[in-house]
Structures are given as C-alpha cells and as structure tokens.
Amino acid sequence: MLFDNPIYVGRPNVGDRAEFEALVDRIFESGWLSNSGPLVVELEARLADFLGVRNCVAMCNGTVALEIAARALGLTGEVIVPSYTFIATAHALYWQGLTPVFADIAKETHNLDPESVRQAITSETSGIVGVHLWGRAAPVDELQQIASEHGLRLMFDASHAFGNRHRGQMIGTFGEAEVFSFHATKFFNTFEGGAVVTDNDELAESVRLMRNFGFVDFDEVVYPGTNGKMPEVSAAMGLVNLDSIENVVERNRENHDAYRDVFAAETLVDLLLFDQRSGSNCQYVVIELAAGAVEYRDRLVADLHAENVWARRYFWPGCHRMEPYRTLFPESGERLPNTVDVAERVVVLPTGTAVTPDDCRLIGEFVVSRLRDYCAERG
Ligand SMILES: *Cc1c(COP(=O)(O)O)cnc(C)c1O
C-alpha cells in the first residue's frame, strides 16, 4: 500500500488550535452562542475588508446562502446554471420554487459557455447563476453582457473561489451578489458556513432580513424569512482560519507544482493549471484523462482507493443526470455534450495542509504508472 494512513481529498485546513480554543473560552464566558454575536460581526467585517465588498452577510452554510441570495434578487421562473457543479447550486434554486435550466460548459475551462447560456434563455428566464468552478473565474464579462442585454439578474456561486482573483479583481465583487461556502472541505472553512457578499446595500438588507426569520425588531416580523444564521463557534473558526490562509495557499501551490512536474511530460493525463500569479487558492488538483485513458477512469480511482488515496470523481455524472432533474428534464443532456465529456474524464487528487509535495509526487507517479499499465494490457 502506498500510504499507511488514508489521504483524502478535502481534508480540512485548520489554523491555530490554541487561538481557536481561546475564542471558544470567550464564547462561554459571554454566553453569547448565536444571533449575530461579536465574533460573527467581526468575521463579517474582516471578510468584507479582505474581499473588498461593502457587505458580507455570514450564513449557516453555502446552500442556504444561495437560496437566500436567489430569493433576495427576486428570481422567478427559470434560472440558467451549469450542470457541471456541486448539486447544491441547482438544489438551492429548486428549493426556492425556481427551475434550474442547465447550460453547457467550455471544455478548456469547465466553466459556463456563454453561447450555451444564450441558447438556454426563454421568456421565463429571470437570471443566471455562474459558478467559478475549481476556483477559476466564470466568464464574468460575457455573462454580464448577456444579463444586461436580456434584463437578467446575475449572481455567482463562488464556493470554490475564496481568495481568488480574476484579472487582478477579487472574486466576490462580480455580478449583483456572490455566494461562498465555508464548509469543512473548502479552502477556507468555519466547520459549516457560508456568506452572501454584495456591494448593493439594499440587497444586503433583504438578505439579512431573510437570514433572521424576517425580524426587524424584537417582535416585529415583516417577511417570511428562514434561519440562515452562523453560530459564534463557526465565526471563531473563521477568524482563526483567516489568519492561516497564506500558509494553506503556499502548501497548495507546492503540492500543485509537485503534481505538475510529474504530469508535465505525460500525454495520458492533463492537469488543470491555475494562474498562480493573478491569485489562486489552488484548492483543487483536477486531472483529465486523455482519450486513450478515459475508459480506465473508474479503475484508476478504485486502484487509488486500494492504496489509501481517496481520490474522487467530481460532479459526476452532472446535475442533469441526478434527481429530480433527470426525470423532470430527460432531454437536457442533448444540450450538454461538453458537460457529459468532462464529467467522464475528471479525477480530483488530494492536496491541502495534510498532504506534502512528496506525497503528491508519489500519488502522481502511481497514477501515471497505472494508466500506462492499463494501456499496455489493452495492447
Ligand atoms: C460546497 C458547495 C456548495 C454548498 O455549500 P455548503 O456550505 O456545503 O452548503 C454549493 N456550491 C458549490 C459549487 C459547492 O462546492
């Protein structure tokens, strides 16, 4: 076996534990556990400052943040989303009574293809939810252009893109609102958590109202809201982890470089590259198997598991092939050839602070040697 201890994709990156415990002591001393306590307020201010946005509204998770953002934007009818994303992007809309309409991605970027978005627009379309997949910016300018031309609302699911930039501009500042997930597996985590960020103060006000049952005062409710509040203990984790994101990025970069060196000359594998200079958290190590190796994808993943390397297929088989969408819209796959193709090729490999560059080299070399073996067997 390659490793005695299991190596996982998405192992949490955790900052200074003593600092976290000191904050937890403060929570117990104050007795303030939730409802916009001092740590949530501090985290929101620090996140808004870090991202360069006017408003950051912290949430209990990214999915509720997406639901609240979609609702606060007043989306109705159909909303265009990629199918190649985590299922929550589509489910959040569906839970709000909206119809997710899937558009295709570009093969090179794995992000929405603007032409496919245009083709998905109908008289019922009210908005577009772009996803910055793997942390790489969606085609923000093209999507903004389409939204303006057709009078659509535009927001982004930035769950993968915390701390990333697009042409120097911080992700979090695009569209009318962006949503982050701070789930344990994400680059920056608060155990569970998320946020809606926006420069629109009025929109932020509605988001805050919806997050807290629609309360405007102790006993006055003006809106059928939900409970999207982040607890203090999550904010404590966030404050501590925010101090260590530079370390996490550095390790992710070293790991990514190690994989890149192994895969550089290998024609059976393509490693997705990030623009490290312009700013990327390098949280996802995504490989695509070339035409001659795609058929061995699941065998490769199983062989990695047998070596204690918990590599993953990701976003397989695409939202449109999961319920309820595959029953509701059985034909949508016909418009999504690139989604179907990419979903079959992708394997995500481990990185993060729990993994070293040497581990990555070993894993990368194992991937290459197995793929060569499979192909040699086939002859
Ligand atoms: C993780 C994730 C979500 C959901 O966030 P939670 O905090 O787990 O609810 C939504 N969209 C994408 C793209 C994600 O990766």
pLDDT at site 207: 98
Instruction: Burial-class residue 329 by CB neighbours within 10 Å (0-12, 13-18, 19+).
Output: middle
Regions of the chain where pLDDT drops below 50: none
Q: Is the CB of 160 under 6 A from ligand 1?
A: yes
pLDDT at site 378: 85
Q: Is the CB of 135 under 6 A from ligand 1?
A: no
- Report the run of H or E that residue 220 belongs to, with start and end: strand 220-221
pLDDT at site 278: 66
The three-class DSSP label of residue 230 is coil
Count of alpha carbons within 13 Å of 48, Cβ hemisphere only? 19
pLDDT at site 267: 94
CA of 66, closest atom in ligand 1: 10
What CATH number was assigned to the domain covering residues 244-378? 3.90.1150.10
63 CA → ligand 1 middle, Å: 6
Q: Which of 64, 67, 157, 230 to mutate to test the pocket of ligand 1 (most atoms within 8 A of CB)?
A: 157
Q: Which of 9, 63, 160 to mutate to test the pocket of ligand 1 (most atoms within 8 A of CB)?
A: 63
- Report the run of H or E that residue 348 belongs to, with start and end: strand 346-349
Domain ranges (residues) in the chain: 17-243, 244-378
Query: Which residues 6+ apart lie within 8 Å of 10 measured at CB?
Result: 184, 185, 352
Q: Is the CB of 283 under 6 A from ligand 1?
A: no
Phi, psi of 299 (to 5 degrees): -65, -40
CA of 64, closest atom in ligand 1: 9
Ligand 1: residue whose CA is nearest its atom 7: 62
Find the radius of gyration of the CA atoms of the chain: 21
User: Are residues 207 and 53 in contact, defined by beta-carbon separation less than 8 angstroms?
Assistant: no
Instruction: Report the candidate in 245, 239, 53, 227 with the shortest Cα–Cα distance to residue 156.
Output: 53
pLDDT at site 275: 76
373 CA → ligand 1 middle, Å: 36
CA of 131, closest atom in ligand 1: 13
Q: Is the CB of 61 under 6 A from ligand 1?
A: yes
Q: Is the CB of 332 under 6 A from ligand 1?
A: no
Phi, psi of 64 (to 5 degrees): -65, -35
Long-range contacts of 234-237 (CB under 8 A, 24+ apart): 234/60, 234/182, 234/190, 234/191, 234/192, 234/193, 235/37, 235/39, 235/40, 235/42, 235/43, 235/58, 235/190, 236/20, 236/23, 236/24, 236/26, 236/27, 236/39, 237/14, 237/20, 237/189, 237/190, 237/191
Instruction: Please name the residue that has the structure tokens 């059928």.
Output: 224
pLDDT at site 277: 65
Q: What is the pLDDT of residues 293-319, one digit of tens each?
A: 999 999 999 999 999 999 999 999 999
pLDDT at site 368: 97
Ligand 1: residue whose CA is nearest its atom 6: 62
The three-class DSSP label of residue 237 is helix
Phi, psi of 283 (to 5 degrees): -75, -20
Q: Is the CB of 133 under 6 A from ligand 1?
A: no
Task: Please give the order of strands across the beta sheet that includes 346-349.
Answer: 269-271, 285-289, 346-349
Give residue 151's Cα distance to chain centre. 26
87 CA → ligand 1 middle, Å: 8
Instruction: Report the candidate in 81, 127, 117 with the shortest Cα–Cα distance to residue 318.
Output: 81
Q: Is the CB of 157 under 6 A from ligand 1?
A: yes
Q: Is the CB of 85 under 6 A from ligand 1?
A: yes
User: Has domain 17-243 been given CATH number 3.30.420.40?
Assistant: no
User: Are residues 195 and 56 in contact, defined by beta-carbon separation less than 8 angstroms?
Assistant: yes
85 CA → ligand 1 middle, Å: 9
pTM of the model: 0.97
pLDDT at site 21: 98
Query: Which residues 6+ apart lie within 8 Å of 352 measured at CB?
Result: 10, 11, 12, 13, 248, 251, 252, 255, 283
